[in-house]
Amino acid sequence: MSLTVVLFAGLAFVGGMLVAAQGPIYARLSQGLGHGSLLAVFFAFATVAALTGALAFLAGSFRGFSAATLAQLPVWVWLGGLFGAVHVVISMHSVPVLGVTLFLVSVVTGNLVGAAIYDHLGAMGLQVRPFSLSKAVGLFLVVAGVGIVAR
């Protein structure tokens, strides 16, 4: 295994641990604000927008940028942010009920089923990767794992 693969696998692992922290953080933010989950989502995303906007500016990412660039993109690219917001709202309400572990194994299962569908269809410009028996068996084992965790 190459050093690059190990490095990116390690980064993915850390990213996964950070994702595991998001549900409890968002749930506490929502609870602390006392005005429902939408205000918490607004503040969470405003923080991210401000930080990433500042970093993009400092990195020079806005050089040569124009509104015409945005206009050339397919409309569906804007769904990513919407899906992220929906996920945050779901996590705020689900984590206190399910706990972080069951919530995340359910999320990962949804990720994998969605990924298999998107790969099979070549959705969103992806290369088509047909569904196979081995993928079906793997997904079945993941679903079985969710059942084990839930017990």
Tens digit of each residue's pLDDT (9 = 90 or more) over 35-91:
778 898 899 899 999 999 999 999 999 998 888 888 899 989 989 889 988 998 899
Q: What is the reported pTM?
A: 0.79
Output the pLDDT for position 118.
94
- Which long-range CB contacts under 8 A does 33-41 form with residues at least 24 apart? 37/88, 37/89, 37/92, 37/93, 38/89, 40/88, 40/92, 41/85, 41/88, 41/89, 41/92
Output the pLDDT for position 126.
92
What percent of the chain stands above pLDDT 90? 60
